[in-house]
Amino acid sequence: MAYSTAPDVPPEAPGIATSAEGARRFVDRLIMQTVFDVLASQARSALLSDAVISAILNQLTVTVTYTPLMCSKVRLVVENPNPLNAGESACIIVDGTVTAICTNTNAGRMACALGPAPLPDAPKITPVPDPHLTISGSLSV
């Protein structure tokens, strides 16, 4: 649900799309398939035939609203010593999921680091902003 146009996105981060549109399409398909699966399951529980279920599902439109997270750089682990230039940000990936953002607000190159006592001027590691954690949608006929 994040994307990066950087050429050096590691293969260990396969969930990173190559464009905002690609990330949106992934979320759209995921939500639409989940909604249809739940509705089909409920219809089968009501003993509707597959033909009726198919006719109902074919009339539905799922509209999803989501703001993908742009990752200008990607880091697989916070302890990775690859430094960021001044003003750069990186998405921190743990087990294939973006878990945080590291932003270097300092003038020089510095590495992101977590630990018991990171340097006071070390790049700041922050949670993924709320707009990128919220998915909303509507269902219409």
Residue 9 pLDDT: 75
DSSP string, 46-109: TT--HHHHHHHHHT-EEEEEE-PEE-SSEESSTT---EE-TT-EEEEEETTEEEEEEE--SSS-
Closest-CA residue to 2 (of 74, 62, 78) = 74
Residue 46 pLDDT: 95
Mean pLDDT of 120-139: 83
Mean pLDDT of 64-81: 77
**Tokens, residue 56:** 């109902």
Mean pLDDT of 49-55: 94
Residue 21 pLDDT: 94
Is the pLDDT assigned to residue 62 strictly greater than 60? yes
pTM, two decimals, is: 0.73
To the nearest whole number, what is the mean pLDDT of the chain? 83
Yes or no: say if 128 and 99 are a contact pair by the CB < 8 Å rule. yes
